[in-house]
Structure 1
Amino acid sequence: MTPTLHVAVINYGPQSDYAAMLPELAGALEVYTHNDLKNTGDFARYEYVPDCEFVPYAELMIRRTAQENPFTHVITDNEYDLERTARIRAALGIPGQSAASALSFRDKAVMKEVAGRTVRTARFARLETITDLTDFIDATGYPVVVKPVKQGGSRDIRVLRDDEDLVEFSRRHWREDLLAEEFIDGRMYHVDAVLAPGYRFVASSRYLRSCLGVFDGQNNGSVQLRPEDELALRLEEFFDRTLEAFDVPEVSAYHLEVFHTPDDQFVLCEIASRVGGNRIPALTQLTYGVDLRAAWLRRSVGLPVPPPPTTAPDKVHGSVSLLPQGRPVQAPGRPPFPWVRDYQVNPNLRPDAVAQNSTSHLCYAIVEGVDAAEVEERLYEVEAWLTKHLQDVPAEAAGS
């Protein structure tokens, strides 16, 4: 343990193993979480807090603890807590991402205003009333996308394609945090990175299908690009230009989503200062040997990390997730293909579950290939096999 460090953590991910990621600091960690984490016995403090990201308890206790035992760092791996940890750091005089910087990556309207200084973004408007929405539709035409400004994982997003959709949307409870933006036609790519002094890792991938496709019954997934591909190099340059517009912290992870239009242009969808979700960390670990979350958190508290690879990988990877079926089904066993690197069935899914967001899944498979084309072909093959081998389960058996 490094005795001079004292680190407060507000946790989100149930798989975050801080003892493994930060073994030097186990006795210096004070962790607040609404997850039942493992390997917490050596922590200076570990407290399970129901609804931790929605209640101010962690902030109150960190401030009180700091009066007697000052913290050197306050960190989070939860996007929804970036602003709160920034606020705590400012109050305690601790360096790190500022509240203004956190807001620019969290509020999608502020994000687009900032990013628009250096890259193209979709036209957008904040919505206070339904009139703001109809005015925006009059100006841009259908379709338009309506989303909360601080939500993630494609949650609570609606695509309005015609007046019938607008009327249906008007019957829903109105929210005070909405944004409308023009619908951009094009495939969506993502760039995932960790940047710190003396450390730079950037990797580009393509979503198998639109993240919004889950609401139309389309399985989702991701396909890595080889780092030397021309499109990957262009995406990295677009990522760098995007960051030029922002007040960036010294150390951060990033997840950028960008449309590639039919006329070969890039249009920013969103950028977040956190690790990408779903299977992105696992794919990155398999291809590059880089643990995105560990690299981000370790550099955030000044701990060393192995340098990122400097040579192109032999294989790249991709994933496909089968959606919940809305009826009791049994997912099959591991697909019989030698290029399947991982296969998992969601043990926490209700039998009648339907897709709630882009991370909803019944099961998923990770495959390998020499390039994006081979990976994509294999993803479609394993998707077809999994779909064919799903078995309906009687409701009474599913509930037993």
Structure 2
Amino acid sequence: MKILVIHQVPYRKISYHLGIDHDRHDVTYVGRPVSLRQIPGDLRCSRIPLAEHDDLVAGVTARVQPSDGYEKVLSLSEFGILEAVHIRRHLGLPGPSPARVELVRDKVRMKEALAGSGIRHPRFVEAPPACGPLPWSGKTVLKPRSGASSEGVMVLETAREALSAYRKLPDPGSYQLEEHIEGDILHIDGLMQDGRFLELAASRYVNKPVEFAGGLPLGSHQIPLTQAQRDLAREVSFALGVEEGCVHLEAFHTADDELVFLEVANRVGGAGVVTAHERYSGVHLPSHEIAVRLGLERPPSAEPSGRYHGWLAFPGHHLPAGTAEVTLPEGLADHPCVDRLYVLPPDRPLPGHITYQEWECPVFIEASHTDAEELGRFLRACANGITVVSGTRVPAELGSAA
């Protein structure tokens, strides 16, 4: 099979070679030079570099043609799945429509599609009235209609404040307003094929994604999967027409035990989700998703650990430029819950952007326990007990960690 891979997610997060036999198939990677350099040098494949500032669709379609004979286009990034629709059309290949993909990219369209489904979601408006209030008065979330990592998300104390902030935006049409829901946030991660889940696991966040953007650590730990969580994942996927690939769904869990849909993506979750799921279930989600999307045999699974797994990431983008000065609780590296502990080397600068990558964060912990609640308590203690500050300043031209 001749496969075109739009390579955007770091190679070490996907490990394409686990899902594709590169000796058997003709694989071409297209991407920015920095992404192509991540591909193992001994991997049998072709590489097509894009110019650093090329528009993704224009850059790819200028370099590949229908006569090249590609049979599949693979894109696993949040910021490439809609673009892949246009690239497939350029190559004359079948695939989902733009309208279908927008349901898992556009946070307005996905909630509109849930109308009449019985699935509760926050009240929202695509664009507020020119004058007059929102349909609610309390705490309000102003966020981009598309995107990831809570970049650009603001939580305002009142609807009036949110309206004022919305009207000051340079591009308000790319944002939406929704009521704030009180409760913990869960993420439910799975893999679908032919409209049914092959894999599914639930996790509870430690802190909230929007707080990571503001400078607090973020983590999550797996919890026992309930029937209500299974039903929510199945019903949302059905309502949005998701039939294959990974699903990363977020939902509020309120004090009265209600699940309220937040948003969903048709891709694998970021941060420590892949590693946690693989250790918990034995299934490496990216390679299994690749097999499903390409119609290949799924790779073998490992033995489940018999433990609940989680992760905790500390941000550095909010700190002044410099290196990280990290203070860890004594004995943390040898704690029985800790599977791996990453600390940014003292000669590496703090990241200048929001990142959950373990090799870029000042501190990143992978942890596990046989009891989900004990694991949660441990990660929350780490979130409160570890400090990260900016140390010696480094020249701006050194950039962020690679």
Task: Give the TM-score range, shorter chain.
Answer: 0.7 to 0.9
SS in 1 for 2:341: strand
Q: How does 1:1-400 map to 2 (within 5 A)?
A: 5-15=1-11, 16-24=14-22, 28-34=26-32, 35=35, 36-49=37-50, 50-51=52-53, 54=56, 56-62=58-64, 64=65, 66-67=66-67, 69-118=68-117, 119-127=119-127, 132=129, 135=132, 137-162=133-158, 163=160, 167=164, 170-197=167-194, 200-227=198-225, 232-249=226-243, 251-306=244-299, 314-324=306-316, 326-327=319-320, 328=322, 329-331=324-326, 335-346=333-344, 351=349, 356=354, 361-387=361-387, 390=388, 393-395=391-393
> Which string of whole-angstrom CA distances, capped at 9 and with x for unpartnered residues, describes residues 308-331 of structure 1?
68x985201111112226144323
Q: CA distance change for structure 1 residues 261 and 307 in 2, over 3 Å: closer, same or farther?
A: farther
Alignment RMSD, CA only?
A: 3.2
SS in 2 for 1:300: helix
- For 1:77 and 1:348, locate their aligned partners in 2 and report how far apart those are by CA, in whole Å: 33
How many Å apart are 1:233 and its aligned residue? 2.7
- For 1:347 and 1:398, locate their aligned partners in 2 and report how far apart those are by CA, in whole Å: 18
How many Å apart are 1:104 and its aligned residue? 1.0
How many Å apart are 1:169 and its aligned residue? 5.7
- For 2:115 and 2:93, locate their aligned partners in 1 and report how far apart those are by CA, in whole Å: 30
| More helix by percentage | 1
SS in 1 for 2:5: strand
How many Å apart are 1:42 and its aligned residue? 4.3
How many Å apart are 1:226 and its aligned residue? 2.8
Residue segments in structure 2 that go unaligned for 5+ positions in a row: none
How many Å apart are 1:357 and its aligned residue? 6.8
SS in 2 for 1:381: helix
- For 1:255 and 1:112, locate their aligned partners in 2 and report how far apart those are by CA, in whole Å: 15
SS in 2 for 1:7: strand
> Which string of whole-angstrom CA distances, capped at 9 and with x for unpartnered residues, describes residues 327-368 of structure 1?
443235762313211112346998576774777842110111
Q: CA distance change for structure 1 residues 24 and 174 in 2, over 3 Å: closer, same or farther?
A: closer
Q: CA distance change for structure 1 residues 352 and 75 in 2, over 3 Å: closer, same or farther?
A: closer
Once structures 1 and 2 are overlaid, which stretch shifts more, 390-399 or 261-270? Answer: 390-399
Once structures 1 and 2 are overlaid, which stretch shifts more, 114-123 or 86-95? Answer: 86-95
- For 2:309 and 2:301, locate their aligned partners in 1 and report how far apart those are by CA, in whole Å: 17
How many Å apart are 1:170 and its aligned residue? 4.7
Residue identity opposite 1:47 in structure 2: I
Asked if the contact 2:344/2:361 (under 8 Å) is kept, the reply is yes
- For 2:46 and 2:192, locate their aligned partners in 1 and report how far apart those are by CA, in whole Å: 29
Residue identity opposite 1:242 in structure 2: V
Once structures 1 and 2 are overlaid, which stretch shifts more, 75-84 or 91-100? Answer: 91-100
How many Å apart are 1:53 and its aligned residue? 6.2
Residue identity opposite 1:239 in structure 2: A
- Count, aligned residues: 381
SS in 1 for 2:173: coil
Asked if the contact 1:191/1:203 (under 8 Å) is kept, the reply is yes
Residue identity opposite 1:331 in structure 2: V
> Which string of whole-angstrom CA distances, capped at 9 and with x for unpartnered residues, describes residues 195-232 of structure 1?
114870111111112211224443110010134xxxx3
Once structures 1 and 2 are overlaid, which stretch shifts more, 344-353 or 40-49? Answer: 344-353
- For 1:159 and 1:378, locate their aligned partners in 2 and report how far apart those are by CA, in whole Å: 28
TM-score norm. by structure 2 comes to: 0.84
How many Å apart are 1:278 and its aligned residue? 1.3
- For 2:379 and 2:276, locate their aligned partners in 1 and report how far apart those are by CA, in whole Å: 13
Asked if the contact 1:204/1:224 (under 8 Å) is kept, the reply is yes
- For 1:73 and 1:353, locate their aligned partners in 2 and report how far apart those are by CA, in whole Å: 35
> Which string of whole-angstrom CA distances, capped at 9 and with x for unpartnered residues, describes residues 84-139 of structure 1?
21233244443433322211111111111112332111111112xxx53864x532
- For 1:349 and 1:164, locate their aligned partners in 2 and report how far apart those are by CA, in whole Å: 42
Q: CA distance change for structure 1 residues 393 and 83 in 2, over 3 Å: closer, same or farther?
A: closer
- For 1:243 and 1:368, locate their aligned partners in 2 and report how far apart those are by CA, in whole Å: 29
Asked if the contact 2:141/2:162 (under 8 Å) is kept, the reply is no
SS in 2 for 1:293: helix
- For 2:213 and 2:105, locate their aligned partners in 1 and report how far apart those are by CA, in whole Å: 23
Asked if the contact 2:125/2:177 (under 8 Å) is kept, the reply is yes
- For 1:182 and 1:349, locate their aligned partners in 2 and report how far apart those are by CA, in whole Å: 43
Asked if the contact 2:124/2:177 (under 8 Å) is kept, the reply is yes
- For 1:349 and 1:272, locate their aligned partners in 2 and report how far apart those are by CA, in whole Å: 36
Asked if the contact 2:355/2:361 (under 8 Å) is kept, the reply is no
How many Å apart are 1:10 and its aligned residue? 0.6
Percent of aligned positions that are identical? 22
SS in 1 for 2:129: helix
Residue segments in structure 1 that go unaligned for 5+ positions in a row: none
Asked if the contact 2:149/2:213 (under 8 Å) is kept, the reply is no
